[in-house]
Structure 1
């Protein structure tokens, strides 16, 4: 009825819809979804936790290459064991970093054990297999005379000297073969070689 007049009814514009940004999911939510087999959730969890996991591993290992390798192992373990996470016992971040710390410490201990084994092997390789008396006897005396003089030794002396002299075993190896302590083997070899030397001197 009113046409462009002052009394025309006001026009009402439709309400405008504003987009509401979705809040990012928490680590706990992503972990629960990962446990349900949602690969996208794990990808988001990976992006969220990888820097933190790597930083922790680097602090423990002090080697970027090893830290990266261990971090990958940790996140793979998280993916495989996501169903074990219990939110009642702590946060997802704490659960994941606990795994990371354990893995990093295990790698350090493994490297230390390997280094210790290598040091022991090097030390045993450097240990003389027999002393200079036996070497002199081998160079100067006939095997017949040596065998005859060996009969003058006690059983343990003869076994120890024979294993070291003829077998080329180290003191530790001789001790293991005779089931005897290393200091005892060293004493028996020293005493036996002393008797052997005296016997060979007389046989000249």
Structure 2
């Protein structure tokens, strides 16, 4: 699949206009407007692809996830709520969540393969105990993260798995910077408690 890497004026026009042009396109898509969908794809696909590639690193998987994102936009455009944020933020949030889901899926597959490989080992080799211990610790962290409230889990995931700054996270989730900082601080505090680690 060929993904254009230059946004030809669409984003600049959106930033300059006071109205949410992307939101207008999403509402048109909800009504079944294929031309609006094509305009949205042409305008935002490069930016969405860049976000996904930043999370996944793998270009082929990023292209697959890009297609999944735009399919989800086509199918769920009617659920877009303009009062909760701008259209571009809604789309970037979908893209980021899809990318994180893919990371988790790949990681789970790797973990299953690793566990199967460990079972097949007839004898214990040097370093196996350390790897098993690291895997168990990783599972503890993942389980502890799952017990956090969604907002805190999302903020920490964007920061530590996605590599985003607090300002970027605020823009992605459509929340004030102070709220994001609080979510991260509270999330880390609760994560330490869940893990039994003293502050």
TM-score (norm 2): 0.51
3-state secondary structure, aligned to 1:127: coil
**Residue 36 (structure 1) shift:** 0.7
**Residue 127 (structure 1) shift:** 3.1
Distance 1:38 1:118 in 2: 44
Question: In the alignment, which residue of structure 2 is the partner of 1:48?
Answer: 43
Match among 78, 82, 92 for residue 83 of structure 1 = 78
Question: In the alignment, which residue of structure 1 is the partner of 2:135?
Answer: none
Distance 1:48 1:120 in 2: 43
Please list every run of 5 or more consecutive structure 2 residues that lacks an aligned counterpart in the other structure: 1-12, 15-19, 124-199
Distance 2:60 2:105 in 1: 16
Q: Deviations over 1:111-147 (max 9, x none)?
A: 111111111101101135xxxxxxxxxxxxxxxxxxx
Distance 2:43 2:78 in 1: 19
Count of aligned pairs between the two proteins: 106
Matches for 1:15-30 after TM superposition, within 5 Å: 26-30=21-25
Which structure is larger by alpha-carbon Rg, 1 or 2?
A: 1
Distance 2:72 2:48 in 1: 12
Matches for 1:123-138 after TM superposition, within 5 Å: 123-127=118-122
Distance 2:75 2:122 in 1: 48
3-state secondary structure, aligned to 1:81: helix
- The farther-off stretch of 118-127 and 81-90 is 118-127
Distance 2:47 2:84 in 1: 20
Distance 1:86 1:103 in 2: 19
Match among 90, 98, 110 for residue 93 of structure 2 = 98
Report runs of 4+ in structure 1 exceeding 6 Å deviation: none
Which one has the bigger helix percentage?
Answer: 2
Question: In the alignment, which residue of structure 2 is the partner of 1:108?
Answer: 103
Higher RCO, Cα 8 Å, sep 6+: 2
Tell whether the 8 Å contact from 1:31 to 1:92 is kept in structure 2 after alignment. Answer: yes
Distance 1:37 1:114 in 2: 37
Tell whether the 8 Å contact from 1:27 to 1:45 is kept in structure 2 after alignment. Answer: yes
Distance 2:51 2:67 in 1: 13
Please list every run of 5 or more consecutive structure 1 residues that lacks an aligned counterpart in the other structure: 1-22, 129-204
Distance 2:67 2:50 in 1: 12
Distance 2:43 2:80 in 1: 17
3-state secondary structure, aligned to 1:37: coil
1:71 aligns with 2:83: no
Tell whether the 8 Å contact from 1:27 to 1:48 is kept in structure 2 after alignment. Answer: no
